[in-house]
A and B are shown apart, each in its own frame.
Chain A
Amino acid sequence: SAVISQKPSRDICQRGTSLTIQCQVDSQVTMMFWYRQQPGQSLTLIATANQGSEATYESGFVIDKFPISRPNLTFSTLTVSNMSPEDSSIYLCSVGSGPEQFFGPGTRLTVL
């Protein structure tokens, strides 16, 4: 398994601003995933981040809104840009190998 930490754990932001979420893993991993989980709902994959290449975004998510960095094999950031109240959600970082995925504790974002 992998131990994953995220910063910040929660934040309250104003409409129109941006927030960068950090994800740190205790071991080197090839693939990192960013998910969104809206209240009472399941997980939606935002993008897959591989070290050394551009992130791959899922349908409905674009790089201008959710830019991702992956500078090395243990770290990634997700930025939520030009936020609106609809971006209020839990954002989760995940790593996986084979059929198993492991998740960070999440970042709870509220946009006013």
Chain B
Amino acid sequence: QKEVEQDPGPLSVPEGAIVSLNCTYSNSAFQYFMWYRQYSRKGPELLMYTYSSGNKEDGRFTAQVDKSSKYISLFIRDSQPSDSATYLCAMRERNYQLIWGAGTKLIIKP
């Protein structure tokens, strides 16, 4: 079993829909939870990170962490074709390396 599980998709939704992207993990020591966006032929770009449990909002993006369920989510409201990309979750313990999910390919249809 991988430490971090993420459905690779692709996930295809119409423009304007609410998108939900998820990761599960097995290591209860993870404290930092990150979401990265990667466009084709580009490096990953940090979208947002959360420390421990709770929600964090940034514009159309909301990150949620549920440590009791070992489950994290990224919600995208009013999705746009420009949101089409691969979204990678990553997480880490306090001073350890990042552990990455496989990435979910998201397609927003105009």
Which residues of A approach B to under 8 Å, CB–CB? 4, 40-43, 45, 48, 58, 92, 94, 99-106, 108
Contact = CB atoms under 8 A, between A and B. Distances in A.
Given A99-B51, A101-B46, A43 B100 contact: yes
Contacts of A40: 8
Contacts of B51: 99
Q: Is chain B's binding surface mostly helix, strand, loop or mixed?
A: loop
Contacts of B45: 103
10 contacts: A41-B102, A42-B101, A43-B88, A43-B98, A48-B97, A100-B49, A103-B43, A104-B43, A106-B41, A106-B43
B100 A92 contact: no
Q: Which 4 A-B pairs have the closest CB atoms?
A: A103-B43, A99-B32, A42-B100, A42-B102
Contact of B97 (A41, A45, A103, A105): A45
B88 A106 contact: no
Given A40-B8, A41-B102, A45-B97, A103 B44 contact: yes
B21 to A, nearest CB: 14
B42 interface: yes
Contact of B98 (A4, A101, A106): A101
A4 B45 CA distance: 12
Contacts of A45: 97-98
Contacts of B88: 42-43
Interface in B66-90: 88
Contacts of A43: 44, 88, 98, 100
Nearest to A102: B46
B34 interface: yes
Contacts of B44: 43, 92, 103
A45 B90 CA distance: 12
**Most-contacted residue by chain B among A45, A101, A102 (CB, 10 A):** A101
A108 B42 CA distance: 10
**Most-contacted residue by chain B among A43, A48, A94, A101 (CB, 10 A):** A43
A49 B32 CA distance: 22
